[in-house]
Amino acid sequence: MPCVAHLGEVARNYERLRAAGIGVIAVGHAPPAIVERFVERERVPFPVVTDPNREGYKHVGLGRVSVWHFFRPRIVLNFLKLLFRGEKIRRLTHTEDVFQLGGDFLIDRSRTVLHAYPSRDATDRPSVEAILSWAAG
């Protein structure tokens, strides 16, 4: 839920990002059929692709967390905040790994990483304002 909420925030600000010269590519790790359902449901204005072997995740150092991670007070509180904001809890398919962490990486045309933001926990994502500041800096 937190990363889909983040994706929604990025989608709502897509034109602002593009105006700042920033394109967006969303990467998951589920099978393509799950991506297809997601794209039909969310209709985000940028490419959504999948990395089933998680080569990209591994390369940028995105690890996995344990089940106990989700019982930390801060994580529980952040999930509750999202629920109060109206975000929905959707059922995971058995093909998805809830313990995988995500992250945001600003790269240039030659794929050099200009800014790396690996999520510290399951609810940790940068704001759109922060992403815009990375590009400005």
Partner 1 sequence: MSEERDTLPDFTFLRANGVAVKLSELIELDRTLLLFLRHFA
Residues near partner 1, by CB under 8 A: 1-4, 6-7, 10, 17-18, 20-30, 32, 34-39, 47-52, 55-57, 59-62, 89-93, 96-98, 100-116, 119, 122, 131, 135
Number of neighbouring beta carbons within 10 Å of residue 72: 14
**Closer of 73 and 108 to partner 1 (Cβ):** 108
Report the distance separating Cα 49 and Cα 66, nearest Å: 26
CB of 68 to partner 1, least distance (A): 17
Phi, psi of 50 (to 5 degrees): -130, 150
CB of 96 to partner 1, least distance (A): 4
Indicate the DSSP class of residue 15: H
